[in-house]
A and B are shown apart, each in its own frame.
Chain A
Amino acid sequence: MAKPGSAALAGDRLLAYTTLAPSAFLLLLLSGVPTITVFVTATQSVSTGDSSGPFVGLDNFLWAIREPMFLTALWNTFVWVFGSVVIEMLLGLGLALLLNQSFKLRGAARAVILAPYLIPTVVAVLTWRYMLHDIVGILNVILLDLHIISHPLLWLNSPSLAMFTVIMVGVWKFFPFAVIAILGILQSIPQEQYEAARIDGASSFQQFWRITMPYILPVFLLTMLLRTIWTFHKFDIIYLMTGGGPLDATTTLPVLVYLKAFDDFEFGRAAAVALLTFAILAVLLAIYFVLIRKAEARQ
């Protein structure tokens, strides 16, 4: 029993599917196929430039969790993500609070702060590598002249310093994102809330903890979530700065995937590491989402 208008409805459906089909096809081709391929490759032993090899089940995964290199990369990833995100968020919060005050040239200051975010990564990294060079780099020259250090520091060539250096460059490149996000929410806080609090007797510190922080918390956490995802799978900065070295000191999971695949041509193992990376990230995201839900429920 056809309801009145169901023919027209079916026609609408057809039109919808027809117009959606090209996009769906592209999405499947560009995202679906590679994803499935990774799953398939991860169960195969591929150790040449070939695209497939014999089926080995979970061997690649078992290899990964026993491989010291993988555990090193996992640890490096946590250091890289934790260090970058914590510093970026604190710096972002501080600068956003500062830029939210009214002062001369505030507009100019806001524009300047954005600059690192807009510079292409390759340009930024090459410039930094030059500035960080142990002999001719400007940083060592200045620190030596000021007698802060007594001998040139190997910023990128010392295993104990390299991760710190890469984190600092990453922070420099990406903290503007946190500034902009936090500044946006700061500007939406009604001024009367602070005026009411001043009359009610709240100090500047109490105004910050009891009004500003609760107000910006959901945006703060969301920004932190995004920065965590993006930092977790960041590849270009690290690889261009150090290539994962020295002595694996800056080999994070995405760098390891690249090295396994394109240095060692072990595509099966690379795929397994990529999937493990994905799984770890998924767990982190789940935790974050719970936190954000809680923060938003408090609003």
Chain B
Amino acid sequence: MAHVEVRQVSKIFADHTAVSNVSLTTADGEFVVLLGPSGCGKTTLLRMIAGLELPTYGDVFIGDRRVTRLQPKDRNVAMVFQNYALYPHLSVYENIAFPLRVRGANNKLTDEKVKWAAELVGLTRLLKRKPRQMSGGERQRTALARSLVRDPQVFLLDEPLSNLDAKLRHSAREELRQFQDRVGVTSLYVTHDQVEAMGLGDRIVVMEAGSVRQIGTPEEIYLDPADTFVATFIGSPPMNLVAMGDITLGFRPEDLLPKAHFADTAAITQVTLNINRVEYLGGDRLLYGRVLGNFPDTAVVARLPSTVQYAPQLGVDLAFAVANPALRRFDTATGKALPRTVEAIGRKAAHG
């Protein structure tokens, strides 16, 4: 086990900057998710940690060793690829054994390790199969087992669940997390799927356009987004943003509730909501509408749990509210989050 540190790393390709001055440190055994839209540089960052790409600037450390210029094989990392990169002509057994074979391990040790890894991911019965005879989930587990047999210090996973169908992805996610808890190896996991990121990560690194926007636990990132990009990238539907001059107010759809729902004594901010569409999702209802009244006319979404008794009327001004602690404020010009204090909001209101 070892921690991973990325120090002021940039990667500049001929025509564009893929990663721009990224710094990041993981704890031993931590599960860190790199999250961002496609093209944000998350995979390039992972490949630099793996040694498949050379950083243009900056350094990569694994443990206390500077590995920036080491070959991938000398870094003791294991990687699971998006399409698994299994060797089509080899059986599952030989695929898992591959890292040991190329290192010249003896047959007895190889056999023990392969069986141990196969057992860990539940492939014991399929060892004689060829990759093409297996389902997506089984291939993914084969790739995982192959990455295991060498006792790597770091696991690197590049969207390993994206080739699975939705149902399988959910169970595979759970298995993956349990598996990581069991082996306790520092893991870096790349995904563009925020649900995966929230569910798997001890911490999430949100990236956009080659830069890190925020590093934090899933709670921190969801509750206190560092800027409007993170606020709208995380959460489905995303955080509502209402620009009010220099300051942009933000609130999550589930925090926008009918005013009657709040106690009379609660510190709330009143909002006039005009609903134009209701989406019933089973557990929730999404109310699409516009905020009016004290606020500039802006499209917003409210999420009401189905357990809340409320019959929304369309096209009518309704009294809604957000609890003051749930309000977030951003600088409209830079998009950066502003300190969260009730007094600050009060002062702003007094000025306004």
Q: Would A203 and B102 count as touching, CB distance under 8 A?
A: yes
Q: Would A298 and B77 count as touching, CB distance under 8 A?
A: no
Q: Would A198 and B52 count as touching, CB distance under 8 A?
A: yes
B252 within 8 A of A: no
Contacts of B90 in A (CB 8 A): 214
**Which of A196, A211, A299 is packed against the most chain B CB atoms within 10 Å?**
A196
The stretch among B10-18, B78-86, B221-229, B292-300 that forms the contact with chain A is B78-86
Q: Would B89 and A298 count as touching, CB distance under 8 A?
A: yes
B103 within 8 A of A: yes
Also in contact, A198 and B71, with CB within 8 A (given A193-B85, A215-B88, A215-B89): yes
Q: Would B73 and A192 count as touching, CB distance under 8 A?
A: no
Q: Would B87 and A211 count as touching, CB distance under 8 A?
A: yes
Q: Would A199 and B79 count as touching, CB distance under 8 A?
A: yes
B203 within 8 A of A: no
- Kindly identify which residue among B85, B88, B102, B146 contacts A202, using a CB–CB cutoff of 8 Å: B102
Also in contact, A206 and B102, with CB within 8 A (given A190-B85, A195-B81, A299-B88): yes
B233 within 8 A of A: no
Bound Cα distance A203, B79 (Å)? 17
Complex interface bits, B201-224 against A, C-beta within 8 A gives 1, otherwise 0: 000000000000000000000000
Also in contact, A196 and B88, with CB within 8 A (given A201-B73, A202-B102): no
A151 within 8 A of B: no
Quote the shortest CB–CB distance from B134 to chain A (angstroms).
Answer: 15
A-B contact count (CB 8 A): 64
Q: Would B83 and A199 count as touching, CB distance under 8 A?
A: no
A189 to chain B: closest residue by CB: B88
B146 to chain A: closest residue by CB: A200
B interface, over-half SS: loop
Also in contact, A200 and B102, with CB within 8 A (given A215-B89, A298-B89): yes
B interface, how many residues as a size bin? 20 to 34
Bound Cα distance A202, B102 (Å)? 5
Contacts of A203 in B (CB 8 A): 102
B99 within 8 A of A: yes
Bound Cα distance A90, B78 (Å)? 35
Complex interface bits, B5-26 against A, C-beta within 8 A gives 1, otherwise 0: 0000000000000000000000
Query: Which chain A residues (259-299) contact chain B, with CB distance < 8 Å?
Result: 298-299
A219 within 8 A of B: no
**Which of A201, A211, A298 is packed against the most chain B CB atoms within 10 Å?**
A201
A38 within 8 A of B: no
B31 within 8 A of A: no
A interface, over-half SS: helix
Bound Cα distance A188, B245 (Å)? 56
A197 within 8 A of B: yes
Q: Would A190 and B146 count as touching, CB distance under 8 A?
A: no
Quote the shortest CB–CB distance from A144 to chain B (angstroms).
Answer: 49
B98 to chain A: closest residue by CB: A200
Also in contact, A198 and B73, with CB within 8 A (given A210-B102, A214-B89): yes
Q: Would B73 and A199 count as touching, CB distance under 8 A?
A: yes
A200 to chain B: closest residue by CB: B99
Contacts of A195 in B (CB 8 A): 50, 52, 72, 79, 81, 85
Residues of chain A having any CB pair with chain B under 8 Å: 190, 192-193, 195-203, 206, 210-211, 214-215, 298-299
Q: Name 13 A/B residue pairs within 8 A (Cβ), A-sorted.
A: A190-B83, A190-B85, A193-B87, A196-B81, A198-B51, A198-B52, A199-B77, A200-B146, A200-B150, A206-B102, A210-B102, A215-B89, A299-B130
Q: A192-B85, A193-B85, A299-B88 are known; give 13 further A-B pairs, CB within 8 A.
A: A190-B83, A195-B50, A196-B81, A198-B71, A198-B73, A199-B72, A200-B73, A210-B87, A210-B101, A210-B102, A211-B87, A214-B87, A215-B89
